[in-house]
Amino acid sequence: MLTLFHQPLCPHSRFIRLILGEYGLEARLVEERFWDRRDQFLILNPAGTLPVLIDEGQPPVPGAAIIAEYLDETRGQAEPLLPRDPGERVEVRRLASWFNDKFHAEVSGPLTTERIFKRYMTAEQGGGPPDTDAIRVARHNIRYHLAYLGWLVRTRNYLAGDRMSFADLAAAAHLSVADYLGDVPWSEDDAAKNWYARVKSRPSFRPLLTDTLAGVAPATHYANLDF
């Protein structure tokens, strides 16, 4: 039995939910208010971050990249989302890290912190009104990432090569959160938009499209497969 500690609009958690869906794995989802820094949660992951996967009989698996590697090693034999060739693995990991680390630092991290998580935090936890400068910078940055993504998928079937991989799921997970908030300028890049429409129409994506947050309505086109 798998359990995933997550937040519905945490992009790293969504990346893992997509992997679970693609591998056909059921997991119990537990919403963790990570900003509360619960003692029992810090025992599972001393870093205090999401997501954390629990696979009974194994140590807790913390962090998007580490969970992805773990699921590939223990559940990914039939249809791997990480290729077997060392050079191809580099490209998948490079682009997964691009979105999990760089895009998160420049776009999806500031957007989720300022527009979502700060609503739930106390002042001591860092809550309060959103920093509009941080949001403005994130909305500026996303345009460069969208252009890079479009440039990649104009020459490749999927982000890191011929087949769908962790790279596509990481990119789509982070974009999906910005899209929920209406912060993706899709009209700027048709190739990126078409790639996202393909990933978004996969069955693994459906649970993400029904997530809603009290007080933060999704953009009108968010759940629309033909946006």
Interface with a copy of itself (CB under 8 A): 46-47, 58-59, 61-63, 65-66, 69-70, 73-74, 86-87, 89-91, 93-94, 97-98, 101-102, 148
Cβ 15 to a copy of itself, closest distance in Å?
15
Residues 83-120: b if buried by 16+ CB within 10 A, e if exposed: beeeebbebbbebbbbbbeebbebbbbbbbbbbbbbee
Please state whether 216 falls in left (phi above 0), alpha (psi between -120 and 50) or beta. Answer: beta
Query: Which C-beta is closer to a copy of itself: that of 149 or that of 178?
Result: 149
Cβ 102 to a copy of itself, closest distance in Å?
6
Query: Which C-beta is closer to a copy of itself: that of 48 or that of 207?
Result: 48
Cβ neighbours, 10 Å, residue 56: 7
Query: Which C-beta is closer to a copy of itself: that of 58 or that of 122?
Result: 58
Cβ 209 to a copy of itself, closest distance in Å?
30
Helix (H, G, I), strand (E, B), or coil: what is residue 6? strand
Interatomic CA distance for residues 39 and 77, integer angstroms: 35
Query: Which C-beta is closer to a copy of itself: that of 58 or that of 224?
Result: 58
Cβ 96 to a copy of itself, closest distance in Å?
9
Interatomic CA distance for residues 87 and 24, integer angstroms: 27
Q: What is the DSSP letter of 218?
A: P
| Strand spans (E) along the chain | 2-6, 27-31, 52-55, 61-62
Q: Read out DSSP for 184-200?
A: --GGG-HHHHHHHHHHH
Helix (H, G, I), strand (E, B), or coil: what is residue 55? strand
Cβ 89 to a copy of itself, closest distance in Å?
7
Query: Which C-beta is closer to a copy of itself: that of 29 or that of 65?
Result: 65
Cβ 57 to a copy of itself, closest distance in Å?
8
Query: Which C-beta is closer to a copy of itself: that of 70 or that of 227?
Result: 70
